[in-house]
Amino acid sequence: MPDYQKKTVAELTEILKGRSLPHSGKKADLIARLNEADKAAEASEGMRDSNDFSITAMPRQNYSIVLSRRTRPDPT
């Protein structure tokens, strides 16, 4: 995990903006937000790497799509 404490508020703000995270607040808030985002990213990577799930292929269905054209009533 990067050492955010050594970075300036401007640097932290740019990192947060780059990650599309809220970037307002005091330096401690910015660091906490980045640390939380890093932990969440690590957790999601761990979930992707685990083999605790299986993917089941669904049979392919053939569906016909019928498009109908709306017609306006004759103005007669």
pLDDT digits (tens, 9 = 90+) for 38-65: 999 888 776 665 555 555 555 555 555 5
pLDDT attached to residue 76: 62
Radius of gyration of the chain (CA): 26
**Dist CA 60 CA 1 (whole Å):** 44
pLDDT > 60? residue 6: yes
CB 33 within 8 A of CB 16: yes
pLDDT > 80? residue 22: yes
Structure tokens at 68: 């109908």
**Dist CA 37 CA 47 (whole Å):** 15
pTM above 0.85, yes or no: no
pLDDT attached to residue 54: 53
What percent of the chain has a predicted confidence (pLDDT) above 70? 58
